[in-house]
Amino acid sequence: MSDRPGKEQMMKMFVPAIAIAVVILLVGVLVAYRNNEDTSGPSNAKPIPGTAAKPGVQIPADIEGLTLDKPPENAPEWKDIGDGLKVWDVKEGTGDECVPGAHAVMHYTGWTLDGKIFDSSVKRGAVPDLPALGSLIEGWQKGVPGMKPGGIRRLYIPWKMAYGERGSGASIPPRADLIFEIKYFGTK
């Protein structure tokens, strides 16, 4: 008989350790991001912290046209673009369209269907430095392309294109459909 732990015992040991490592990594990224924020100067427009904006492009920190009230999930303005993913263009932007996989710059607020905000760059008051669309949830990968600078779009993302069976942390339960409101500024 072997003293080696079985597969089930190994999973019980490693899953919590991996979860803790991910949390520590995310906290480190958040701390680094907040330490890079630029609050100097009288301008209401500033480049994204820690990033190089396109030459001559300033990213406004404005939230005009955005709301912290969850949009209704059954409004007639929603357009199904496939697999239950719906978009609602509140305001059309102008200029070059966002392309799949782009490093998009935007403000956003995310809600669960019960109306709880689980994340909001609007509430934080800073345009986030998000990774490229290809590394975000599938609903953003498919729902953000096509937006133009200055545009505001709402996304209704079914759970299979969001955080799936497991959810994410305490704020997004398993199998949660999500609603986002996004103001797109351009790409870096």
Whether 150 has a pLDDT exceeding 80, the answer reads yes
Split at pLDDT 50, 70, 90, the class of 129 is confident
* Fold of the CATH domain 66-188: Chitinase A; domain 3 (3.10.50)
pLDDT tens for residues 158-176? 999 999 999 999 999 999 9
What's the confidence (pLDDT) of residue 179?
95
Q: How far apart are the first and last CA of the chain?
A: 59
What's the confidence (pLDDT) of residue 165?
96
Q: Give the span between the Cα atoms of 59 and 184, in whole angstroms.
A: 10
Q: Give the span between the Cα atoms of 74 and 174, in whole angstroms.
A: 21
Q: Give the span between the Cα atoms of 142 and 144, in whole angstroms.
A: 6
pLDDT tens for residues 81-118? 999 999 999 999 999 999 999 999 898 999 999 999 99
Question: Structural domain boundaries of the chain?
Answer: 1-39, 66-188
pTM for the model stands at 0.66
CA neighbor of 91 nearest in space, from 144, 154, 44: 154
